[in-house]
Amino acid sequence: MFRAIREQTDTIFREDPAAKSVLEIFTCYPGFHAILLHRLAHKLHRWNLPLAPRLISQFSRFFTGIEIHPGAKIGRRFFIDHGMGVVIGETTEIGDDVLLYQGVTLGGTGKEKGKRHPTIGNNVVIGTGAKVLGNILIGNHVKIGAGSVVVHSVPENSTVVGVPGRVVKRRVIGDIDQLEHGKLPDPEMQEIQDLRQRVEKLEGMLQDLLEARVQEARVSDRR
């Protein structure tokens, strides 16, 4: 347990430049509280205790604003930044070195039984308000932009944005660029721009055709 706490504080110092001291982390970081409480709840869940794991998770939800089902499997050095409104479903599996921002949902898409929540690989960053839904696989080194809704599996070393989420960038293995939302491509805006260019081109062709017809009519009148 002490090793897990030390590893968690080291992770927060690495991921959050606002963290100034261990005391600040212990007292002011809901993501820190939520993951430690989940570690306890998950262990009790694996022991098949009937109610205690859910009571711990509900207390954690009330205390931190972060809802993690005791059945979710979470790897090492997991960090939830800010965290309010984060929801992680029962059959979710999360790898190592994963970073979530506030409002993220790792949820299901229906009432099906069995594995119904996403599997998240290692070194994944999921931006504010993103929704990853269903029994899908998010590969290693994936970045998901803020507000995206991802309902299909995503290959490794990709950046995903939009509703529904689409891969807009594939990175070279080993490239560890950060999730800079101001620099992410916008596929919807790109499609609008492409459509605008096509409309302008068609308008130009139509104008040329009309001018040609007018010119032909003038020549015919002169005859």
pLDDT of residue 192: 78
CA–CA gap between residue 171 and residue 177 (Å, rounded): 9
pLDDT of residue 75: 94
Pinpoint the alpha helices (H) of the chain: 2-15, 22-28, 30-46, 52-64, 187-222
pLDDT of residue 162: 87
Q: Which candidate, 67, 60, 68, 77, places its Cα nearest to that of 13?
A: 77
pLDDT of residue 176: 44
pLDDT of residue 50: 85
β-partners of residue 67 are 87
This prediction has a pTM of 0.78
What tens digit of pLDDT does each residue of 141-161 get? 999 999 999 999 999 999 999
pLDDT tens string, the chain, 223 residues long: the values are 678 888 899 999 988 888 899 999 999 999 999 999 999 999 999 999 889 999 999 999 999 999 999 999 999 999 999 889 999 999 999 999 999 999 999 999 877 788 999 999 999 999 999 999 999 999 999 999 999 999 999 999 999 998 888 888 776 444 445 566 666 666 666 677 778 888 888 888 888 888 888 887 777 766 6
